Amino acid sequence: MPDKFFINRWILKYKIARKWNITMDERKIESVGIYANMHKRGVIQVARKLLDMLAELNVVCECELAKALQLERKANFSGLGQCDIVITLGGDGTVLESARNLAKYDVPILGVNLGRLGFLTELLPTELEIAIPEIVGGKFTIDSRMMLEAKILDYSGETLIGLNEVTIDKAGSPRTLHFNVIVSGNAISHIAADGFIVATPTGSTAYSMASGGAIVVPSMNALLLTAIAPYTLAIRPLIVSGDDIIRIEYKNRDEKNPPNLTVDGQVT
For residue 155, the model assigns a pLDDT of 64
For residue 4, the model assigns a pLDDT of 52
For residue 144, the model assigns a pLDDT of 85
Q: What percent of the chain has pLDDT over 70?
A: 87
Please pick, among 25, 52, 84, 92, the residue that the annotation labels catalytic.
92
Phi-psi region of 157 (alpha: psi -120 to 50; beta: other; left: phi over 0): left
The fold of 4-9+147-263 is: Tumour Suppressor Smad4 (2.60.200)
Contact indicator for 169, 259 with CB cutoff of 8 Å: yes
More confident residue, 106 or 198: 198
Of the options 3.30.413.10, 3.40.50.10330, 3.30.1950.10, 3.90.850.10, the CATH number for the domain spanning 20-139: 3.40.50.10330
The string of pLDDT tens digits covering residues 137-184 is: 888 888 888 999 998 886 667 888 999 999 999 887 888 899 899 999
- Cβ neighbour number for residue 210 with a 10 Å cutoff: 11
Q: Please, where in the chain does CATH 2.60.200.30 lie?
A: 4-9+147-263
Q: How far apart are CA 180 and CA 192, in angstroms?
A: 9
For residue 134, the model assigns a pLDDT of 85
Q: Please, where in the chain does CATH 3.40.50.10330 lie?
A: 20-139
Helix or strand run (H / E) with residue 77: helix 77-80
- Residue 143 among the catalytic residues: no
For residue 122, the model assigns a pLDDT of 85
The string of pLDDT tens digits covering residues 6-36 is: 544 433 334 444 444 444 445 678 999 999 9
